[in-house]
Amino acid sequence: MIRNMNVELSIVSPVYNEAEGLAEFVRRIHAVVTPLGVGWELVLVNDGSRDVSLQVATELAAAYLNVRIVSFSRNFGHEAASTAGLRYARGKAVVLIDSDLQDPPEVIPQMVAKWREGFQIVYGVRSKRHEETGLKRATSWLFYRLMRRLAKIDLPRDTGDFRLMDRRVVDAFNSLPERSRFVRGLICWTGFRAVGVEFVRAPRFAGKTKYNYAKLVRLAIDSLTGFTTAPLKLATWLGMLIGFAALAWIVVVLFQFFFWKTPNGEPYRPAGFTFIAIAVLLLGGAQIFLIGLVGEYLARTYEQVQGRPLYIVDSLVGFADTKAVGGANGGLLPGSE
Ligand code: UDP
Ligand code: MG
| 158-171 mean pLDDT | 89
Query: Which pLDDT value is given to residue 16?
Result: 93
Contacts of 278 (CB under 8 A, 6+ apart): 246, 249, 250, 253
Cα(238)–Cα(74) distance, rounded to whole angstroms? 44
Name the residue at shortest CA distance from atom 16 of ligand 1.
98
Cα(283)–Cα(296) distance, rounded to whole angstroms? 20
pLDDT over 60 (residue 262) = yes
What lines the ligand 1 site, CB under 6 Å? 14-16, 18, 47, 75, 77-78, 81, 98-100, 102, 209-211
Task: Give the Å distances, CA to CA, from 189 to 98, 155, 226, 310.
Answer: 21, 9, 11, 11
Query: Which pLDDT value is given to residue 333?
Result: 46
| 175-200 mean pLDDT | 82
Task: Give the Å distances, CA to CA, from 129 to 22, 136, 144, 188, 269.
Answer: 23, 10, 16, 22, 66
Query: Which pLDDT value is given to residue 311?
Result: 76
Query: Which pLDDT value is given to residue 37?
Result: 87
| 18-44 mean pLDDT | 92
Name the residue of 51, 210, 215 to mutate for ligand 1: max ligand atoms within 8 A of Cβ.
Answer: 210
Kindly give the distance from the C-alpha atom of residue 70 to the centroid of ligand 1, in angstroms, as a whole number: 16
Share of the chain above pLDDT 70, in %: 91
Query: Which pLDDT value is given to residue 69?
Result: 93
| 28-48 mean pLDDT | 92
Query: Which pLDDT value is given to residue 157?
Result: 76
Task: Give the Å distances, CA to CA, from 327 to 120, 121, 157, 183, 300.
Answer: 20, 21, 29, 20, 17
Closest-CA residue to 123 (of 97, 142, 147, 101): 97
pLDDT over 90 (residue 12) = yes
- Say what the pTM is: 0.73
Name the residue of 11, 12, 15, 16 to mutate for ligand 1: max ligand atoms within 8 A of Cβ.
Answer: 16
Kindly give the distance from the C-alpha atom of residue 157 to the centroid of ligand 1, in angstroms, as a whole number: 19
Q: Per-residue confidence at 33, pLDDT binned at 50, 70, 90?
A: very high
Query: Which pLDDT value is given to residue 328?
Result: 37
| 178-198 mean pLDDT | 82
Beta bridge partners of 13: 44
Residue spans of beta strands (DSSP E) within 30-133: 40-46, 67-71, 93-96, 121-128
Considering only 17-21, 31-35, 74-78, 128-132, which range has the smallest mean pLDDT? 128-132
Cα(261)–Cα(249) distance, rounded to whole angstroms? 18
Burial class (CB within 10 angstroms; exposed 0-12, middle 13-18, buried 19+) of 306: middle
pLDDT over 60 (residue 180) = yes
Kindly give the distance from the C-alpha atom of residue 209 to the centroid of ligand 1, in angstroms, as a whole number: 7
* CB distance 101 to 17 below 8 Å: no
Query: Which pLDDT value is given to residue 329?
Result: 42
Pairing of strands 93-96, 40-46: unpaired
Kindly give the distance from the C-alpha atom of residue 98 to the centroid of ligand 2, in angstroms, as a whole number: 6
pLDDT over 80 (residue 54) = yes
Name the residue at shortest CA distance from atom 8 of ligand 1.
77
| 240-269 mean pLDDT | 88
Query: Which pLDDT value is given to residue 271?
Result: 83
Tell me which DSSP letter residue 201 carries. P
Kindly give the distance from the C-alpha atom of residue 163 to the centroid of ligand 2, in angstroms, as a whole number: 14
121: left (phi over 0), alpha (psi -120 to 50) or beta: beta
Cβ contacts of 271-275, under 8 Å, gap ≥ 24: 274/249
Looking at per-residue pLDDT, the higher value among 33 and 314 belongs to 33
Query: 93-102, 145-154, 216-225: which has the highest mean pLDDT?
Result: 93-102
Burial class (CB within 10 angstroms; exposed 0-12, middle 13-18, buried 19+) of 258: exposed
| 210-225 mean pLDDT | 79
Pairing of strands 9-15, 93-96: parallel
State the Cα torsion 85-89-95-101 to the nearest 10°. Answer: -50
